[in-house]
């Protein structure tokens, strides 16, 4: 289909999504449908992603306004508020000073104010926030991953069940589930065009992320909370924090979750003091109940081959997908079964919120909680395998007492974090063959 | 006064380059090495001159009119589009190196501060190839910061071309004929749904490769469809005051042949960052502009520090609405 050039795809998608960005009603304080109930929104975790999610929620529905914000840090909250105030009219951002909540435990106060909550702190705290939001009867958008340890997974699974019973909508930010190219690939796979998936390779090989170096006036707790990417109780390592997206696609397309994992990993390049305790590479084999084996690799090393995508082999053909909206299915004779056309593209981050709010308005029920928890658990299983060097089964792991995260309500800036540096400032790094899986 | 100017030295990384030496350099093609790095960038000397900018062709777009006389001063222009290898050297450079922290040196260059691009979370080449393939998906700010970095590294002022300089080189290159376009450019009809390595088609008459096609190229200008009716005759530059739209030129592998011409004007759009989930969005990377790259120029006359400063544009934060 040579005549359907990529440029044309890009151009037409510009028109489609331009509508989302530029709809003038977004920018006014006058709701278009005045009879509709105003939905009150709160955000817990005001970083770049939380701020982005708020902007998408405010664009998703005419009658939604932000009423409360919570963050561990005042400066992060203030930046977020300032940025949102530049984007939206005051009617949409209606957060009084008394509704800006700062510090540990502030999540409760913000959640109490709202109908819909956005949970976008570092993932270690997510289970406690989710549990509270469900208990208070709120609709929820929460980012991935949804936990960093098994105790958290159990909490999320239990609350996800309650959310379903209470008919609370839960959207998890595994946005490939809301991306047209992936949905189309999934539809074709379910129709059997490539047969059963028997193997696959999933990748998040990149150069790594930000580092926030220690400052003199910070306590150890503040340092870890600010430089959270490098501490497992907060982040869960990049196999969890980023690579979950690709592992999740394997789970979704296969239709099951892994029963066991074994793998290897370590810190080869990125091993400074400000790099805490996480690895810079992991390679895991996941085995599924139907016998399928998925090779999963993720790397944070600069100057190496980069790849963020998924490939699966079925009994009749294969499929290639990537976040850049590629979705190609081919038979083994090389025949093209399906190739995704970018004209259908919409911003998946926006679709997440469009569908969440549409579901709330129409009394529908989106229940991503269990999927989010189990895909998070899959990545934790992979991490247990690379840290320990052992084969780890899902059953053993989920039945363990693996618990990394303290109760947030008991923390303050002088609390001693679950992991502390040695006398020379280095943190304990997992050692394969020595470190226990859980 | 004159003497004083001549004595003014650029002191950088142990290299002393007086302006007089820089400006007395033979106006010939040369290769710019970058000390301590494995890259070098080839530049072609372009004598200044006058030309008819825009078009009288009635079938072309309104923003290419009126055709008008423009004069540009001489400059050197990159022989090739900047490659991933050349761009990643900047992206992964440890900018806090000692060499960037000596204010007196930087002051001479009009370089206040060099900021390193953030390392992207995903593969910005989307599997289309790195190394000698052209770098894409960077913002105009990032491309400018690359020039600033290169200036700081080499002691020689580099920047993006103005829209007028770009069109001048394209028109002097005489590759703008539909019948022979396939010899000089990669575009939708002849590229394999991706960009190609730089310099694999024939160069234009000035020895510049991929001026048309392969990847679209950032220039320095704000896009204004009516700019030609009021632009100055000499060295026009529509200096940006807002983040969108900014001009890109030359067309790319995603454009059909009708867009691959010296007068066609395209521009940046907010939805090029639609899959950036953060607010504010990245100052450095797009998520959906895998067809936009750049090439560099160096003015024939090395400008004073004060003059260079006007080219280092301030970052404008991107909230996804404009």
DSSP string, B25-47: S-SS-EEEE-TTSS-EEEEEEE-
**CA atoms in the 13 A half-sphere facing the CB of A212:** 13
pLDDT, one tens digit per residue, over A232-258 is 999 999 999 999 999 999 999 999 999
CB B108 within 8 A of CB B89: no
Question: Bridge partners of B63?
Answer: none
- Separation in Å, CA of B182 to nearest CA in chain A: 16
- Separation in Å, CA of B181 to nearest CA in chain A: 18
Q: Is residue B78 scored above 50 in pLDDT? A: yes
Cis peptide leading into residue B280 (ω within 30°): yes
Residue of A21, A85, A339, A352 best to disrupt the B interface, most CBs of B under 10 A: A21
Q: Do B280 and A308 touch (CB under 8 A)?
A: no
- Separation in Å, CA of B102 to nearest CA in chain A: 22
Burial of B40: CB neighbours in 10 Å, binned 0-12, 13-18, 19+ = exposed
Q: Which residue has the tokens 């979750």?
A: A257
pTM: 0.86
Report the 10 Å Cβ neighbour count for A334.
7
Residue B101 pLDDT class (50, 70, 90 cuts): low
Q: Do B254 and A347 touch (CB under 8 A)?
A: no
Residue A8 pLDDT class (50, 70, 90 cuts): very low
- B263-271 average pLDDT score: 95
Distance set, CA B223 to CA A252, B146, B220 (Å): 44, 21, 10
Residue B95 pLDDT class (50, 70, 90 cuts): low
- Measure the CA–CA gap between A252 and A160, rounded to whole angstroms: 18
Task: Assess B283–A contact: CB distance below 8 Å, yes or no.
Answer: no
Least confident of A7-21, A255-269, A358-372: A7-21
pLDDT at residue A37, as a whole number: 92
Residue B288 with chain A: CB contacts under 8 Å: 10, 13, 324
pLDDT at residue B25, as a whole number: 73
Please state the separation of Cα A110 from the chain's center in Å.
21
The residues, any chain, with a CB within 8 Å of residue A356's CB and separated by 6 or more, are A57, A60, A116, A139, A141, A169, A171, A366
pLDDT at residue B13, as a whole number: 41
Least confident of A25-34, A312-321, B122-131: A25-34
Q: Is residue A5 scored above 90 in pLDDT? A: no
- A19-28 average pLDDT score: 38
Task: Assess A49–B contact: CB distance below 8 Å, yes or no.
Answer: yes
Least confident of A12-26, B13-27, B31-45, B67-81: A12-26
Residue B121 pLDDT class (50, 70, 90 cuts): confident
CB A48 within 8 A of CB A125: no
Residue A17 with chain B: CB contacts under 8 Å: 271, 274
Structure tokens at B160: 């993006």
Least confident of A193-207, A358-372, B113-127, B254-268: B113-127
Q: Do B189 and A207 touch (CB under 8 A)?
A: no
CB A122 within 8 A of CB A237: no
pLDDT at residue A423, as a whole number: 95
% of chain B at pLDDT higher than 70: 89
Which has the closest alpha carbon to B221: B204, B242, B203? B242
Which has the closest alpha carbon to A221: A130, A360, A103, A57? A103
Q: Is residue A7 scored above 50 in pLDDT? A: no
Structure tokens at B235: 């060295």
Report the 10 Å Cβ neighbour count for A188.
18
Q: Is residue B131 scored above 70 in pLDDT? A: yes
Q: Is residue A3 scored above 50 in pLDDT? A: no
Burial of A192: CB neighbours in 10 Å, binned 0-12, 13-18, 19+ = exposed
pLDDT, one tens digit per residue, over A152-200 is 999 999 999 999 999 999 999 999 999 999 999 999 999 999 999 999 9
Residue B273 pLDDT class (50, 70, 90 cuts): very high
pLDDT at residue B96, as a whole number: 57
- Measure the CA–CA gap between B107 and B119, rounded to whole angstroms: 27
> What is the DSSP secondary-structure string of A252-311?
HHHTS--SEEEEEEE-SS--SGGGTT--SEEEEEEE-TTS-EEEEEEEE-TTS--EEEEE
- A342-355 average pLDDT score: 87
pLDDT at residue B6, as a whole number: 33
Residue B98 pLDDT class (50, 70, 90 cuts): low
Q: Do B270 and A18 touch (CB under 8 A)?
A: yes
Residue B320 pLDDT class (50, 70, 90 cuts): confident
> What is the DSSP secondary-structure string of A302-367?
TTS--EEEEEEEESSEEEEEETTTEEEEEETT--EEEE--GGG---HHHHHHHHHHHHHHHT---B
- B90-98 average pLDDT score: 73
Q: How, if at all, do strands A100-102 and A170-172 pair?
A: unpaired
pLDDT at residue A343, as a whole number: 63
- Measure the CA–CA gap between A40 and A66, rounded to whole angstroms: 6
Structure tokens at B142: 């990032």
Distance set, CA B229 to CA B52, B65, B233 (Å): 13, 8, 11
For residue B4, report the phi and psi dihedrals to the nearest 5 degrees. Answer: -60, -40
pLDDT at residue B114, as a whole number: 74
For residue A50, give the chain B residue with the closest CA: B278
B269: left (phi over 0), alpha (psi -120 to 50) or beta: beta
pLDDT at residue B313, as a whole number: 82
pLDDT at residue A44, as a whole number: 98
> Nearest CB to B319: which of A14, A83, A242?
A83
pLDDT at residue A320, as a whole number: 96
Q: Is residue A35 scored above 90 in pLDDT? A: no
pLDDT at residue A425, as a whole number: 94
**Of A288 and B97, the one with more pLDDT:** A288
- Measure the CA–CA gap between B12 and B105, rounded to whole angstroms: 6
ipTM of model over 0.90: no
Report the 10 Å Cβ neighbour count for A25.
11
Least confident of A234-238, A243-247, A335-339, A382-386: A335-339
Structure tokens at B130: 């790195």
% of chain B at pLDDT higher than 90: 67
What angle, 0 to 180 degrees and rounded to 10, lies between the N-to-C axes of helices A48-60 and A348-362? 50
Q: How, if at all, do strands A64-71 and A39-44 pair?
A: parallel
Average pLDDT, chain B: 88
Number of H helices, E strands in chain B: 8, 12
Query: Which span out of A18-22, B221-225, B310-314 was modeled with the highest average pLDDT?
Result: B221-225
For residue A48, give the chain B residue with the closest CA: B278
- Measure the CA–CA gap between A199 and A191, rounded to whole angstroms: 18
pLDDT at residue A28, as a whole number: 40
For residue B116, give the chain A residue with the closest CA: A210
Q: Do A17 and B193 touch (CB under 8 A)?
A: no
Q: Do B280 and A48 touch (CB under 8 A)?
A: yes
Which residues 192-221 of B are in CB contact (within 8 Å) with A? 193
Q: Is residue B24 scored above 80 in pLDDT? A: no
Q: Do B279 and A84 touch (CB under 8 A)?
A: yes
């Amino acid at each position: 289909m040579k005549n359907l050039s990529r440029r044309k795809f890009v151009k037409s998608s510009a028109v489609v999504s331009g509508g989302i960005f530029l709809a003038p009603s977004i920018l006014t304080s006058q709701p278009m449908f005045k009879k509709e109930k105003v939905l009150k929104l709160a955000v817990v975790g005001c970083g770049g992603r939380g701020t982005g999610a708020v902007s998408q929620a405010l664009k998703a529905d005419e009658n939604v306004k932000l009423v409360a914000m919570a963050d561990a840090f005042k400066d992060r909250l203030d930046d977020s508020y300032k940025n949102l105030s530049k984007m939206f009219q005051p009617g949409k951002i209606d957060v009084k000073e008394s509704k800006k909540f700062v510090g540990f435990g502030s999540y409760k106060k913000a959640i109490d104010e709202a109908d819909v909550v956005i949970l976008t702190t570092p993932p270690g705290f997510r289970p406690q926030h989710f549990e509270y939001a469900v208990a208070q009867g709120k609709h929820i958008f929460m980012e991935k991953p949804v936990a960093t340890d098994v105790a958290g997974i159990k909490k999320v699974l239990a609350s996800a069940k309650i959310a379903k019973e209470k008919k609370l909508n839960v959207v998890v930010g595994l946005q490939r589930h809301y991306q047209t190219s992936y949905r189309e690939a999934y539809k074709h796979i379910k129709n059997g065009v490539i047969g059963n998936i028997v193997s696959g390779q999933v990748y998040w090989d990149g150069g790594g992320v930000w580092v926030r170096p220690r400052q003199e006036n910070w306590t150890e707790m503040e340092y870890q909370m600010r430089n959270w990417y490098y501490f497992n109780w907060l982040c869960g390592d990049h196999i969890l924090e980023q690579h979950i997206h690709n592992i999740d696609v394997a789970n979704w397309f296969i239709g099951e979750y892994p029963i066991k994992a074994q793998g290897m990993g370590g810190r080869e390049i990125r091993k400074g003091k400000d790099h805490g305790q996480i690895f810079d590479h992991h390679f895991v084999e996941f085995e599924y109940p139907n016998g399928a084996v998925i090779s999963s690799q993720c790397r944070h090393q600069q100057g190496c081959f980069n790849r963020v995508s998924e490939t699966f082999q079925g009994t009749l053909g294969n499929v290639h997908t990537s976040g850049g909206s590629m979705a190609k299915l081919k038979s083994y004779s090389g025949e093209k079964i399906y190739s995704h056309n970018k004209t259908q593209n919409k911003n998946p981050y926006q679709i997440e919120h469009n569908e969440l709010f549409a579901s709330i308005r129409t009394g529908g029920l989106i229940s991503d909680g269990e999927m989010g928890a189990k895909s998070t658990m899959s990545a934790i299983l992979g991490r247990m395998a690379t840290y320990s060097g052992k084969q780890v089964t899902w059953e053993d792991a989920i039945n363990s007492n693996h618990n990394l995260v303290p109760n947030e309500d008991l923390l303050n800036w002088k609390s001693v974090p679950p992991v502390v540096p040695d006398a020379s400032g280095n943190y304990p790094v997992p050692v394969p063959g020595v470190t226990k899986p859980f | 006064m004159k003497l004083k100017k001549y004595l003014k030295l650029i002191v950088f990384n142990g290299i002393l380059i007086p302006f007089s030496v820089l400006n007395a350099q033979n106006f010939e093609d040369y290769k710019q090495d970058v000390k301590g790095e494995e890259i070098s960038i080839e530049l072609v000397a372009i004598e200044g001159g006058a030309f008819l900018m825009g078009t009288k062709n009635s079938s072309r777009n309104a923003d290419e009119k009126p055709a008008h006389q423009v004069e540009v001063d001489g400059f050197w222009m990159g022989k090739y589009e900047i490659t991933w290898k050349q761009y990643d050297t900047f992206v992964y450079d440890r900018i806090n190196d000692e060499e960037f922290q000596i204010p007196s040196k930087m002051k001479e260059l009009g370089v206040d501060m060099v900021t390193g691009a953030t390392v992207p979370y995903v593969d910005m080449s989307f599997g289309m190839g790195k190394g000698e393939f052209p770098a894409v998906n960077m913002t105009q700010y990032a491309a400018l910061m690359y020039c600033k970095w290169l200036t700081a590294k080499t002691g020689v002022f580099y920047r993006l071309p103005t829209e007028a300089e770009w069109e001048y080189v394209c028109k002097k290159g005489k590759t703008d004929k539909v019948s022979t376009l396939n010899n000089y450019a990669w575009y939708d009809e002849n590229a394999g749904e991706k960009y190609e390595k730089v310099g694999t088609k024939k160069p234009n008459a000035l020895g510049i490769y991929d001026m048309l096609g392969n990847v679209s190229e950032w220039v320095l200008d704000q896009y204004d469809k009516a700019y030609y009716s009021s632009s100055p005759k000499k060295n026009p530059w529509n200096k940006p005051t807002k983040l969108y739209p900014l001009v890109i030129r030359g067309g790319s592998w995603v454009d059909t042949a009708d867009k691959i011409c010296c007068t066609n004007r395209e521009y940046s759009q907010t939805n090029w960052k639609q899959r950036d989930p953060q607010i504010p969005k990245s100052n450095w990377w797009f998520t959906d502009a895998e067809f936009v790259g750049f090439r560099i120029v160096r003015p024939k006359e090395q400008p004073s520090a004060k003059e260079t400063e006007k080219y280092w544009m301030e970052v404008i934060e991107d909230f996804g609405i404009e």
